[in-house]
Amino acid sequence: MAETKQERELQLQAAKEFRVQFLMNETGITEAQARELVGMIGLDASSLLREARLLKKNK
C-alpha cells in the first residue's frame, strides 16, 4: 500500500525529532543547536555527529 503525503511528512518529522534527541544525548549540544544542524545537514547520522562534536568542542 502506498503511503500518503501526510504519512511521509509525519515519518520525516519523527526521524528529525529522533536525530535531535540523539544529538543532544550523545554530544551535549543544546536542542536549538541540534535542530539547526538537522535543518542544515539533514538526517545523515555520521555528518550530524561530526558537526555536533565540533560545535561542542569549539564552545
**Does residue 1 register a pLDDT over 70?**
no
Mean pLDDT of the residues in the chain: 94
Instruction: List Cβ neighbours of 33 (8 Å cut-off, separation of 6 or more).
Output: 23, 52, 55
Determine the Cα–Cα distance for residues 44 and 59; give it in Å rounded to an integer. Answer: 23
How confident is the model over 46-57, as a mean pLDDT?
95
In sequence order, which ranges of the chain are alpha helices (DSSP H)? 5-27, 31-41, 45-58
How high is the pLDDT of residue 3? 83
- Per-domain boundaries in the chain: 5-58
How high is the pLDDT of residue 30? 96
Chain segment 23-50, per-residue pLDDT in tens: 999 999 999 999 999 999 999 999 999 9
Determine the Cα–Cα distance for residues 47 and 5; give it in Å rounded to an integer. Answer: 27
How would you classify residue 30: left for phi > 0, otherwise alpha for psi between -120 and 50, otherwise beta?
beta
pTM of the model: 0.88
